Amino acid sequence: MIIAVDGPAASGKGTIARALARHYGLPHLDTGLLYRAVAVSVLREGRDPASEADALAACGFADSLLDDPELRTDEVGKAASVVSAHPPVRAALLERQRSFAQQPGGAVLDGRDIGTVIAPDADAKLFVKATPTIRAQRRHLELRKHGANPSLDKVLADIRTRDERDSHRSEAPMRQAEDAQVLDTSFLSIDAAIQRAIALVEARTRGAGGGAGQA
């Protein structure tokens, strides 16, 4: 069984994908980490994430940076969004994501283009969303936990910039696959969101209806 989980920053897709992987006993790949690893490499070399050549050169080093302590910082998230817009960077990371998805027994992957590009034949596709304000509040809380203290307005502006760039790039833009089920987590607790996600996957994979559209 292949489960594709897509959605914007802080929608809750990572939390949901991890929970689904645990529930079904499947391996999980957070594909954002691949783009983040490329970004770490570019930044550390003092290169420019907006340069296609610089970003492509960094792809070869991504594997060795997948456990890097800076992988999950906000600065790296922003640079990841910039490097991921270069089509050759996406091409360089495509095969390993596809083979992860197609391993025997199945897998759960989360990102932006799993249901549309990486695993268009996935058995279940969730598009996880939440309002920009709620996503900014979640990110703000996380940043404060890690000792940073940006204003909520700044975090919201960053979220909007990233949404805009990720949904309007030419290659594999973030969008809901036609056969995806939407899960709006804006007013759901983490536990409720996970239960809802499992119910949606069950509905799709056990032939109990399910259906696309608003959850």
73 binds ligand CDP (CB under 6 A): no
Q: Determine whether the annotation assigns residue 14 to a binding site.
A: yes
- Residues numbered 139 to 158 that lie near ligand CDP (CB under 6 A) are 142
Phi, psi (5° rounding) for residue 32?
A: -60, -30
185 binds ligand CDP (CB under 6 A): yes
**Min separation Cβ 207 and ligand CDP, Å:** 27
181 binds ligand CDP (CB under 6 A): no
Q: Nearer Cβ to ligand CDP, position 171 or 179?
A: 171
41 binds ligand CDP (CB under 6 A): no
Q: Nearer Cβ to ligand CDP, position 54 or 113?
A: 113
Which amino acid would we find at residue 151? S
How many whole angstroms separate alpha carbon 106 and alpha carbon 122?
Answer: 9
Q: What is the 3-state secondary structure (H, E, C) of 103-114?
A: CCCCEEEEECCH
- Residues numbered 100 to 119 that lie near ligand CDP (CB under 6 A) are 111-113
32 binds ligand CDP (CB under 6 A): yes
Q: Determine whether the annotation assigns residue 13 to a binding site.
A: yes
Half-sphere exposure of 118 (CA within 13 A, CB side): 34
Q: Nearer Cβ to ligand CDP, position 26 or 126?
A: 126
Q: Which long-range contacts (CB under 8 A, 24 or more apart) does 156-164 make?
A: 156/132, 158/74, 158/78, 159/8, 159/9, 159/10, 159/132, 159/135, 160/132, 161/78, 162/8, 162/9, 162/77, 162/78, 162/81, 163/8, 163/9, 163/132
80 binds ligand CDP (CB under 6 A): yes
**Min separation Cβ 213 and ligand CDP, Å:** 19
Half-sphere exposure of 46 (CA within 13 A, CB side): 0
66 binds ligand CDP (CB under 6 A): no
- Sites of contact with ligand CDP (CB under 6 A): 7, 9-15, 31-32, 35-36, 77, 80-81, 84, 111-113, 138, 142, 162, 166, 185, 188-190, 193
Residues at the annotated binding site for ATP?
A: 7-15
